[in-house]
Structure 1
């Protein structure tokens, strides 16, 4: 017996590219048919579709023209000269007018020719211009107005007895190694006067007693002026305790 074979038929699926191609062919056929039958309608549809996808491009504005070339100043050129300084006028104050004072008249009428009473060339007053005994005498006299050329010199007396000074608090050892300097005025007669403590010691009582002893015990050769006359001059005495 002849053999019977069963044949089965399989359907093949269409691919998407193929389907898209078939659609595009149909659309192209329809478009060609529409242009052939209704060309005006087709042109209107084309303008509407194209206007929907039209992009307006605006051209950029023209660039501004380049600035005019201006000459640059030379480097190091001198500037304009400055204005001359004019000093401000200054006016000095007018000098004060000195009022002439009338010469004093004597209290009582007199027949003399002097315009002041009591004019003197010598006398005992403190302001005598010539010679006298006042403290302000000029060239001669016993006052302190002379200029000393030599210094006073200690010539006699001494202060070397510890019993002259009281025992300070703490005993004499508390004063040992200290000193005091006093200043006196040696008069023309060689005596010390007007004693003052110039540099004190730790014991004020001993300083006071030192001044008393210098004035009472010590003798001096007085200072002299340019003419060899004795004049008053200062002298410094140092008292030390050992």
Structure 2
């Protein structure tokens, strides 16, 4: 087949996927084996394209015909999973996982990671309760499906640190439950999770904060770790004039 004809067929495939024309997609893929090879050689991410337009039937058909569910390595395009996460589409995320997508597949040199992307989407959905809860469920589902809880962003900040700094203790608890390292320290100031949680509550400690303190200590977070200022978490609360001191002593003597 001529190269120009192949290019025209690729354009047709894009159009058929967009419109969800399953029969025409089948005909195009089955009519000529060389055509499918050409599509794959051109690294057309058909699965991501189908996800973009919410074409689940087309996605399943394309995947069954050999199009990679995680896209192609060394490309700058985002994967189908990232597209579904950014759309806050839990049903499509589940479909992709069912089809075998890699929940740890990062793109653009590890700058876009599914679990971190899901957390950022959650942070941006506070104005809408339904979207807010859906984003939380996507985060939980990714962990249940094998997403690593020990990922970090481009600033070398681990996700456990981000959740602690943001005061998102439900997410921090989820990460710990799924195996996040509890004694990791920040690249700057060398603070551990107890330092970060205490920093969040110097002004006004809450019941949820004391609960996460207990959890961190139970998980083995080092209560005597010293940061770059040579201060332990307890010393930090004293230094800042916080009112966590009694609570910290309570947790230390009752749970350590």
Q: Under a length normalisation based on structure 2, what TM-score does the superposition of the two structures give?
A: 0.18
Larger strand proportion, structure 1 or 2?
A: 1
- Asked which structure has the greater CA Rg, the reply is 1
Larger helix proportion, structure 1 or 2?
A: 2
Greater RCO (Cα-Cα under 8 Å, separation 6 or more): 1
